[in-house]
Structures are given as C-alpha cells and as structure tokens.
A and B are shown apart, each in its own frame.
Chain A
C-alpha cells in the first residue's frame, strides 16, 4: 500500500511523538533520572507557586 504525502507526514509526526514518550519512560521510570528535592532551602522557585495553589491545609498529612 502506497502512503500519501499527508500519510507520511502523519506517521513521521506520530513516530516523533512516540519517540519522546519512550525517552520520557526510559529516563523517568526505568532509570529514575530526576532530581529529588528534600530541603526547602534548596527548592527552585516554581514549587512555591504549586504549593500555594494546592494549599497546605488541603494536603492530607
């Protein structure tokens, strides 16, 4: 079956999409290559926004 130019474009896009998912799965789930912040002093700024969004009182301790 011959693919149309649009079909080829679609499959290239889908392949790139899948490749990025595989990269994420391999890095984050298989190898767990991500930073873990345990000290509030060293936390990057963006986490403050999220904490205030969630609200400390909502968290089930």
Chain B
C-alpha cells in the first residue's frame, strides 16, 4: 500500500493531529501527563534529598514520558518515529512498575532503600529490554498492508507483560510483609495507603494491556490511564494525613492546579457522548480533591487560630512571671543589703568591739550576704537585659586599673581556698569607653570569681595584653574544665552545664549570659577555651580601645 494514499495528517509537536482515532485520547492522556509532571516537580523541589520523594519523582516522570510517547504513537504519521517510540515505550513502561515497587519498598523499610540483592534482581529484569529493544525481538516490523500506522510486536512485549505482573506480585508481597512487620498504626496506614494506590495504579495499567490481548477492544486502553488520578488521590491523602513527601502546604496549591488542568482538559473533547462520560469522571475527581482540600485548609486555619491563642496566653503568663521575678528580686535584694550592712557594721566594730567568736561568725555571714546580693543582682540584670531596660553609663576608664581592683578584692576569697591569683598585665594604655561598673561586676569579677569557684586547687592567671586597637583580657585556671556538651550552653540564659552544676551548686546560670551581653554592648567578643573535663579553662574577652 502506498503510504501517501492513507491521507495522514502531519502532527504538530508530535502529538496534535487528526490521526488519532478518538478525541477522548487527548483527555485521557493530557490530564494525567500534566498532573504527573506537576507531582514529580512538586515532590522533588519540596525535599530533593529524601529517597521517597526521589522515587515518586521518577515514577511520575516515567509515567509522564510513557503518556507522551503513547500520544505520539496515536498522532504521528512518520514510520520511523512510530517504530522508535513504540520501541522506546517498552523500557519506560517497565520503569513505571520498577519505580512503583521501589516506592512501596522504601515505605515498608521506614524510608530506607531496598537491599542490594533486591535492586540487582530488579535491574536484571531490564537487561533483555536494554539489549533487545532496538531489535526485531521487540518489534518485528512495520505493517504497511493497511492505514493503521502500526508496528508488529515481537516476543519481548510478552516478556514485558510477564515481568510487569511479577513486579505487581512482588509489590503486594512487600506491602503485606511491611504491614505485618510494622508496629506503629500511623506508619502502617501510610504504607497501606500509598501501597494500595501504587498497586491499583499498576493493576489498572496491566488490566489495559491484558484487555487489549483478550477483549480486542481498543477503547479499554483509554481507561488504563485513569489509574493516575487514583494514585494521585491516595498520595494526596497520605501527604495530608501523614505528611508523606513533606507536601502539606504545597499539596493544597498543587491540587488546585491539578483540578484546573483536569477541567481544562474538557476543552479537548469534541463529541457529546464523550463529554458526558468525561464530565462524570471530572466531577468525581473535583469532588474528592475539593473535599480533601477544604478539610485540609479548615484544619490548618483551626490549628493556626489555636496556636495564636496559646501564644498570647503564654506571652501573658511569661510577662506575669517576669514581673513577679523582678519584684521578688528587688525585695530580696533590699533585705540582703540591710543584712549585709548590719554584718559589715559588726565586723568593722561600728557597734563596739565584738568578741572574736562573734566577729568570726559575722565575717562568714557577711560573705554569704554579699554572695546573695550578687546572685540577686545577676538575676535582676538578666531580667533587665531581656526586657531591654539595661542602661549603660558610658565614660572613658582604665581597664587595667579595673582588673587590678577586682583581682585584689577577690584575692582573699581565693586564698581561703588555697588558690593563688597571678596577674600578668602588660604596660601601656588600656583606656576604653564603656560602663566601668558593669564591666567590673559582670565581666571581670564574674570571670575571676567563676575561676575561683571552679578550681578546687591550683592557680589562676589573669592577663591583659594589647595588640593594635584590640585589648585582650584572659582568665586562665587549672580547674575542672568544660566538657564539649557544657561548652554549647555556656553563654546562654539559664545555660547550666550538666557537669559544672556539680561543682558550683549555687550557680544562677545567668552570670555568663549577662557577661556576654555586656561585652556585646561594648562591641567586644567573649569566648571560652578548654581541653575538656579536668583540664582547666581559659575565658577570653577582647575589647576595642577607645
């Protein structure tokens, strides 16, 4: 037969032509083609590193490719293109089954891939197809005895159908095995949802192939593609219900677009009978997808409203607690200061010379009172820092002099523990612009005092150097050191180290937080160095010169 006598139409973009035998083909193909592309892109962009997302993207991509190739076969008029795409659709079709199987495997394995043995078995099934797809084992030749534009299929197609069936059975076995093995109800339902979606999708596909062989009615072939919306439905349910594929927010948008595409597909229907059928299917899809979408959006709104209410309540409770803490700290500070003054008066003999025993007791009590005042001041300052009400009185002062004063003050406390404080203060100008009182109390005193507390025995070295415009103040001790775990929380609010609290049970855990805030306010840097537990530590402060 002369091909020219058939009057074939030239296909536009390979797929648009009058050569197709039924307009329904465009509906059955273009809708699922675009939806599967959309799903593939969505899952890949949402979480490109997750195995499950990658697998679904491969499945969607392979399906989109299959649909596109199939459309070309219906529309194209060129012999060589029909032979090529008829051959090429074979490995792509098997890839759909393999990707479906892989997806269920990943879900059944809690996100892990199948074993290497399973992968090799699956890959081996592709080998005959890769080797023979271009030969006459796949397509015997092109039929020019009529105008059907058909290739003649060879034995490789039968091999393909058998392997497809085996993949479905394998997927069912993995689904059942995984379901029985899993203990968590949510995980089981998630596996069941996606697994059933994949199995139904692949089964509809295979049913189409089998129908072609036994029923000899080409129109059944059109319905096998309706498996895709069913798979999309199952995947969407799983994505919303179990956050599979991390699709929650994106799904809502994707569903709207998918639904619009399906409705737009109606434009391709050209006969009344087809419109009725297609409208029923489209209505069903829109109803299901719309219901899921509405429920999802409503749940999101309810959750957001609940979170907002809880956030407001928490904020109010937090403010009440802050105010209470501030009030209590102020009151306690007042009592402690009065007690401190009274004991200081006894020690200094303001009320007459006390007996030696009373003086000793008063001396200890005075120390405790001073610690109490210092602790309360730390808490108050941390509270002020959080509220943003901490005020700095900036003026030039001598950092070296401030360090000398504080170190001398703390020498007595160090001596009482048998610790020696050594100083190494370089010569030169150490004037800086800052709040001297806060720098002395919260930074210098805090760091030296901490070293005394965390050094059971040994030495503390306080040093000050200047390099260019930067002053470096260091407090190095031979104490308990800092573990890697404690180092992470060192300068945070309430950042008690698990190990440090054992040494200093009275720690407020605000000291270093306040110290860092003060150093930050002076545009400086503070950090700690330690080789680990029992190996001492060094606290370093760097401040810019005036």
Residues on A lying within 8 angstroms of B by beta carbon are: 6, 9, 13, 16-17, 19-21, 23-29, 32, 34-40, 43-44, 46-47, 49-56, 58-61
Q: Which residue of B lies closest to A45 (CB)?
A: B152
Say whether B140 contacts A35, CB under 8 Å.
Answer: yes
Contact residues in A for B216 (Cβ distance below 8 Å): 49, 52-53
Tell me which of B79, B130, B148, B221 contacts A59 (CB under 8 A).
B148
At the interface, yes or no: B146 with Cβ under 8 Å from chain A?
Answer: yes
Task: Give the segment of B83-91, B363-371, B421-429 that binds chain A.
Answer: B83-91
Contact residues in A for B87 (Cβ distance below 8 Å): 24, 28
Q: Is the interface of A mostly helix, strand, loop or mixed?
A: helix
- Give Cα distance in the complex from A36 to B80, angstroms: 11
Contacts known (A23-B134, A24-B87, A44-B152); A32 close to B80, Cβ less than 8 A: yes
**Given contact pairs A16-B130, A24-B133, A49-B213, a sample of 18 additional A-B residue pairs in the complex whose CB atoms are under 8 Å apart:** A6-B113, A20-B134, A26-B134, A28-B80, A28-B83, A29-B81, A34-B142, A37-B143, A38-B144, A44-B140, A49-B216, A50-B152, A51-B146, A51-B150, A53-B221, A54-B21, A59-B146, A60-B21
Q: List 11 A-B contacts (CB under 8 A).
A: A23-B133, A23-B134, A24-B87, A29-B84, A37-B142, A37-B144, A49-B213, A50-B143, A51-B146, A51-B148, A61-B6
Q: Among B130, B154, B217, which residue has the most Cβ atoms of chain A within 10 A?
A: B130
Say whether A46 contacts B130, CB under 8 Å.
Answer: no
Contact residues in A for B134 (Cβ distance below 8 Å): 20, 23-24, 26-28
> Chain A's nearest CB lies how many Å from the CB of B300?
35
- Give Cα distance in the complex from A20 to B132, angstroms: 8
Give 3 nearest A-B pairs by CB, closest first.
A35-B141, A20-B130, A24-B134
- Give Cα distance in the complex from A23 to B83, angstroms: 13
> Chain A's nearest CB lies how many Å from the CB of B65?
11
Tell me which of A20, A23, A50, A53 contacts B217 (CB under 8 A).
A53
- A-facing mask of B203-218, CB < 8 A → 1, else 0? 0000000001100111
Say whether A60 contacts B147, CB under 8 Å.
Answer: yes
Say whether B153 contacts A46, CB under 8 Å.
Answer: yes
Say whether B130 contacts A19, CB under 8 Å.
Answer: yes
Residues on B lying within 8 angstroms of A by beta carbon are: 1, 6-7, 18-19, 21, 79-81, 83-84, 87-88, 91, 95, 113, 119, 123, 126, 129-131, 133-136, 139-148, 150, 152-154, 212-213, 216-218, 221
Say whether A35 contacts B218, CB under 8 Å.
Answer: no
Say whether B143 contacts A47, CB under 8 Å.
Answer: yes
Tell me which of A6, A20, A43, A61 contacts B143 (CB under 8 A).
A43
Say whether B145 contacts A40, CB under 8 Å.
Answer: yes
Q: Among B21, B131, B216, B221, which residue has the most Cβ atoms of chain A within 10 A?
A: B216
Q: Which residue of A lies closest to B2 (CB)?
A: A38
> Chain A's nearest CB lies how many Å from the CB of B183?
27
- Give Cα distance in the complex from A23 to B132, angstroms: 10
Say whether B148 contacts A50, CB under 8 Å.
Answer: yes
> Chain B's nearest CB lies how many Å from the CB of A48?
10
Q: Which residue of A lies closest to B82 (CB)?
A: A28
Contact residues in B for A40 (Cβ distance below 8 Å): 145
Tell me which of A13, A34, A47, A52 contacts B136 (CB under 8 A).
A34
- Give Cα distance in the complex from A9 to B98, angstroms: 14
Q: Which residue of A lies closest to B215 (CB)?
A: A53
Contacts known (A49-B213, A54-B150); A16 close to B142, Cβ less than 8 A: no
> Chain B's nearest CB lies how many Å from the CB of A47?
5
